[in-house]
Amino acid sequence: MSTKPVAIASDHAGFELKIILGGEIRALGHEVLDLGTHGPESVDYPDFGHAMAEAITSARVDRGVIICGTGIGISIAANRHGGVRAAVCHDQTSARLAREHNDANVLALGARLIGPQVAKDCLGTFLRTAFSEGRHARRVAKLD
């Protein structure tokens, strides 16, 4: 397991869930790199998707969590950067498969679609699950 912190970022819609998941990351034994937003005021989700991508591509972190209303917009922004594999997940199964099959390095969540407990479940699964490699490595290599 990496000793690097886990980054977390959100827009205003995901701010409250970001606070909850930041505490959960710490409870799971990881440091947190908080990339913002730092309040509930309206902001633009691409800014925080790009901030996460920079943290991943600069190797400041190996994994991160991004949150907006649906998880879709912020994941699109993050995925525009090579080396970022952000997966929108809605349950533990999608979080597990994102790691096992896609080597996702960023978990994207929709604060308006899932509740805090489901988000915590997704987070724990995402952080505990390893990439399966094997036949999946060939496919993941084609993403970049």
Instruction: Tell me which residues are annotated as active site.
Output: 68, 101
Residue 142 burial (CB count, 10 A): 6
Residue at token pair 């409250």: 16
Which token pair is 133? 């490699």
